[in-house]
A and B are shown apart, each in its own frame.
Chain A
Amino acid sequence: MSKELIHLNNISKSFDGQMVLDELNLTIHENEFVTLLGPSGCGKTTTLRILGGFATPDTGSVVFDGQDITKLPPNLRPLNTVFQKYALFTHMNIAENIAFGLKIRKKSKDYIADKIRYALKLVNLEGYENRMPDSLSGGQQQRIAIARAIVNEPRVLLLDEPLGALDLKLRQEMQYELIRMKNELGITFVYVTHDQEEALTMSDTIVVMNQGYIQQIGSPESIYNEPENAFVADFIGDSNIISATMIEDKLVSILGTRFACVDTGFGHNKPVDVVIRPEDVELVAPTEGILTGVVSHLIFKGVHYEMEVMAGGFEWLVHSTALHPVGEKVGIRVDPYNIQIMNKPESEDEEAVAVDI
């Protein structure tokens, strides 16, 4: 892993007596694409604002490259922000918008002109210098906001749900653009979103947050495949989260039926939660399944069929390319590797709130 760049140490923050962040600790590495992911009100934007200097933590410190910047105002921080609603200066044209930070730093005219050209090229909007922000589409305005931030050569770019206002197609395009820009610039991106797909697509590291706590930090793969608790499992993608009992190592009882799994170290006869992704539930002939059930719903989703199967008193969500009509009796099998065991939350603080996506 590359060098550690930012440390958030024991950050707490409350607004009007309501705790938004509670003893948050986070390390961000150089040249990393970090995404803070969570539902609204989880503290992700507050974390970003503390990084940018727009909010001061009640306790804790922000350390940037070895230097404590907790009390440094935003205009003196070596970071730049791309705001949710673009925040372009409407009375200035595109070139003036991009030049804003450079003019304040009293750069030479030639340098500024070069930088504007370079930034517009980077965001694929060459020739837009003299346009006014109002005459640009949402996606173009967002690109300008990015250009305006990166000309200052920040070491870290903070992005606050920058794609939130764009339509689906444009959002997907911009995701690739952002990855490309990050690689071209070689700087750290800290990205805030509530969109799990965005997070999975772009990030090196995802920080899943809920109610002011970090639920899990990891690569997109580990977050998706090995969620540490029911909240993460539910928030990232669709999943079947079922109460179960860990009988012994590598053996779990789900809905009264024994399933082989690969997890160890949970103890004997201990209540746990299991997560099984809908694409990992295999539908087979009734005689071949570990559990048998009946298909109760069927929806065509394009790439696959989404089915609900009533089995063992639980409605299983199943994604499969094979069609099983409603009413058909099917068997359910799950590969041991695809059963993810999680500890039950121990306290109310840890209790994650289920969120419908």
Chain B
Amino acid sequence: MRNAVKKLYIALIFLFLYAPIATLMVLSFNASKTRAKWGGFTFKWYAQLVHNDDILRALGNTLLIALLSSVIATVIGTIACIAMNNMKKRTRTIMMGITNIPMLNADIVTGISLMLLFISFGFRFGLGTILLSHITFNIPYVILSVMPRMKQLNPSIYEAALDLGATPVAAFFRVVFPDLMPGILSGFLMAFTMSLDDFIITHFTKGAGVDTLSTKIYTEVRKGIKPEMYALSTIIFAAVLALLLLVNAAPEKREKN
């Protein structure tokens, strides 16, 4: 009896969490244009999506920005971790606090402040400004995921590599870097995911005529909800889910080896 209640409780939690997404997914395969009735199974909306140039362009922008911003943020974030690791404890704690603040900050505040910053420095809004903002909000996530790995590092291994004749650069890339890799990889994937599904910050820092998937969906939905949007949302959900699974699986796989 107790067990049955427990199971029911879990089932309810998952139902509330996933029912909206499931609804969206089901509707994306609905042949009927209205949400009210089931018109049979179809891939029609997915097909229409593929032929929609606007959407494809937005997809291209999204992927480009996600990739570039996460790569750049990973490089900057990893370098920042190396620097912070060599700081005194007090300074490091303060620095960690400072890098954590942007993550806790409301997206809308970050978005508006970035927009104001770009305006005051006379930037032209477009892909460049989106990229800059995404790098900005991605760096803390990279630091958050690389730093614990950094702290676990046996500081002697870098010195051991030097001792065996490696130059400081070679010692870093051959010995320290492989040990940090799981952290760097999960930081990169996390940054990629964050960039992929960001709407608010992109909305404030994009120029007219430039769209990513999330802002494109937003504009489309304002005109009236079309079933293609269900299909698109389903694809984004599936992609982000896949990435998240990768993020979680990567360090574990590493540990087993």
Query: Is the A/B pair a real complex?
Result: yes
Interface, chain A (partner B; CB < 8 A): 52-54, 73-76, 79-81, 83-91, 100-101, 104-105, 148-149, 152
A75 to B169, CA, bound (A): 11
Q: Is the CB of A75 within 8 A of B165?
A: yes
B157 at the interface (CB under 8 A from A): yes
Residues of B within 8 A of A73 (CB): 162, 168
Residues of B within 8 A of A89 (CB): 157, 160-161, 175, 178
Contact partner, B163, options A74, A84, A86, A91, Cβ 8 Å: A74
Q: What string of 1s and 0s marks CB contacts (under 8 Å) between B154-170 and chain A?
A: 10110111111111101
Q: A89-B175, A91-B179, A104-B170 are in contact. Are A83 and B164 (CB under 8 A)?
A: no
Minimum distance in angstroms from B156 CB to a CB of chain A: 4
Residues of A within 8 A of B167 (CB): 75
A74 to B164, CA, bound (A): 8
When A and B form their complex, which 5 residue pairs have the shortest distance between CB atoms, in order from nearest? Answer: A101-B164, A87-B156, A87-B160, A83-B156, A91-B178
Total contacting residues, chain B, CB less than 8 A:
19
Q: What string of 1s and 0s marks CB contacts (under 8 Å) between B136-153 and chain A?
A: 000000000000000000
B window 173-193: CB within 8 A of A: 174-175, 178-179
Q: Is the CB of A148 within 8 A of B164?
A: yes
A255 to B77, CA, bound (A): 69
Residues of A within 8 A of B170 (CB): 104
**Residue with the highest number of chain B CB atoms closer than 10 Å, among A73, A75, A80:** A75
A152 to B171, CA, bound (A): 17
Q: Is the CB of B178 within 8 A of A80?
A: no
Contact partner, A74, options B162, B174, B178, Cβ 8 Å: B162
Q: Is the CB of A87 within 8 A of B162?
A: no
Minimum distance in angstroms from B191 CB to a CB of chain A: 23
Minimum distance in angstroms from B155 CB to a CB of chain A: 9
Q: A91-B178, A104-B170 are in contact. Are A85 and B162 (CB under 8 A)?
A: no
Q: Is the CB of A75 within 8 A of B156?
A: no
Minimum distance in angstroms from A49 CB to a CB of chain B: 9
Minimum distance in angstroms from A53 CB to a CB of chain B: 8
A101 to B171, CA, bound (A): 11
B window 192-219: CB within 8 A of A: none
CB-CB nearest in chain B for A99: B164
A202 to B87, CA, bound (A): 39
Q: Is the CB of A52 within 8 A of B157?
A: no
Residues of B within 8 A of A54 (CB): 159, 162
19 more contacts with CB within 8 A, not counting A85-B154, A152-B165, are A73-B162, A73-B168, A74-B159, A75-B165, A75-B166, A75-B167, A79-B163, A80-B163, A80-B164, A81-B160, A83-B159, A85-B156, A86-B156, A88-B157, A104-B164, A148-B160, A149-B163, A149-B164, A152-B164
Contact partner, A87, options B159, B174, B178, Cβ 8 Å: B159
CB-CB nearest in chain B for A152: B164
A314 to B163, CA, bound (A): 51
A52 to B35, CA, bound (A): 74
A339 to B74, CA, bound (A): 69
Minimum distance in angstroms from B4 CB to a CB of chain A: 44
